[in-house]
Amino acid sequence: MLVPSLVVAQVAPGNVTQAFSLTGVVVGPALVLNGQATCAITLSSAGTGLTLVPQVSSDNGATWVTTTVVGGGVMSTPGVYVGSIASTGLTNFRVAVTALSSGTVSGTETCSPGNPSGSVGSTGTSLPLACDLSVPINVASATTTALVTPSGTKSVYVCAFSLTVSGTAPTVQFEYGTGVACAGSPTALTGPYTATVGNEISAGAGMGTIMRAPAGNGVCVVTTGTTPGAQGILTYAQF
């Protein structure tokens, strides 16, 4: 049985975002739309046996229908799902768990004005409003691991990441560079993150850029410590 959810207020046009952590067959918090045209779901944890559907309302949450423009209308595995919901009269957006065998379903939902192809940043370059690609983070040693490989003259725009760490005194840091595993001119994108083992480290919500690798560079994650591990997901666009 689906249960009522909290409606998150929005007082002006712009990005609206909300994290969710759901257990069982329930609905997530509802975003109030005010002209937003693109929605993204960053699914960090999917449990097992998941069926997650995106839903929209045109009567302030009184009735809901599934929208197929985000994730094809059904999501079951971690990733980033983006789609255009441009339609007059839409008032709300949310996710609903219609099946779940076990575990917790967590992530973020974000809706933005405009389309996901990009906008102009402070230097006049194009920036993505929403990232449409994702890569798993799965590291089990102290090393530098390539997450996004260089591709010609394309830049890499990271919209979000989420991970947990293991080992003794582990640290995690993101960098960019050329060549294999950022071996050429490695440059830090973040400082070293430290966290209690099992606790989540995350940034971003799937909309907008939190870090950028210049043209011709890839993105890597650097792990240090004693038998460190890092598992999670990174979402990005590359163009």
Q: Which of 27, 36, 237, 209 is nearest to 132 (CA)?
A: 237
pLDDT at 10: 39
The share of the chain scoring above pLDDT 90, in percent, equals 51
Stretch 154-167: mean pLDDT: 91
Does residue 150 share a domain with residue 92?
A: no
Q: Answer with the one of 112, 135, 165 that is the final residue of a domain.
A: 112
**120 pLDDT more than 70:** no
Average pLDDT over residues 82-96: 83
Q: Encoding tokens for residue 179?
A: 């060549």
Cα–Cα separations (whole angstroms), residue 153 to 122, 166, 215, 235, 238? 20, 35, 5, 20, 10
Identify the residue with better confidence: 45 or 130.
Answer: 45
- The verdict on 126 and 191 lying in the same domain is yes
- Counting the structural domains of the chain, the total is 2
Residue 219 has pLDDT above 80, yes or no: yes
Residues 202 and 144 in one domain: yes
Q: What is the mean pLDDT of the chain?
A: 84
CA distance 184 to 203: 26
Answer yes or no: is 2 within a domain: no
In the predicted structure, residue 116 carries a pLDDT above the cut 90: no
For residue 9, how many other CB atoms are within 10 A of its CB?
8
Please, which pLDDT band fits residue 184 given cuts at 50, 70 and 90?
A: very high
Query: Which strands make up the sheet holding 105-112, listed edge to edge?
Result: 16-22, 105-112, 38-45, 79-84
Average pLDDT over residues 195-206: 82
C-beta of residue 45 within 8 angstroms of C-beta of residue 56: no
CATH of the domain at 156: 2.60.120.260
Residue 126 lies in a domain: yes
| 78 and 145 assigned to the same domain | no
Q: Is residue 153 situated within a structural domain? A: yes
Whether the pLDDT of residue 115 is over 60: the answer is no
Residue 13 predicted with pLDDT over 70 = no
Model pLDDT, residue 12:
41
The encoded tokens of residue 119 equal 């906008």
Residue 26 counted as domain residue: yes
In angstroms, rounded to a whole number, what is the distance separating the alpha carbons of residues 166 and 195? 9
d(CA 132, CA 184): 27
- pLDDT at res. 126: 56
Last residue of a domain, one of 84, 112, 140: 112
Are 107 and 131 members of one domain? no
Q: Domain check: are 108 and 183 in the same one?
A: no
In a domain, 14, yes or no: yes
Residues 145 and 97 in one domain: no
Report yes or no: 182 and 144 within 8 Å, Cβ to Cβ. yes
Report the pLDDT averaged over residues 130-135.
Answer: 80
Same domain, residue pair 230 and 131: yes
Phi and psi at 175, nearest 5°, equal -145, 165
Assess whether pLDDT exceeds 70 at residue 60. Answer: yes
Q: How far is CA 55 from CA 29, 92, 166, 183, 189, in A?
A: 11, 8, 36, 44, 36
The verdict on 230 and 134 lying in the same domain is yes
What average pLDDT does range 32-45 have in this prediction?
Answer: 84
Residue 103 belongs to domain with CATH number: 2.60.120
Based on the fold, state whether residues 17 and 57 are members of the same structural domain.
Answer: yes
Give the structural domain span for 41: 7-112
User: Is residue 121's pLDDT more than 80?
Assistant: no
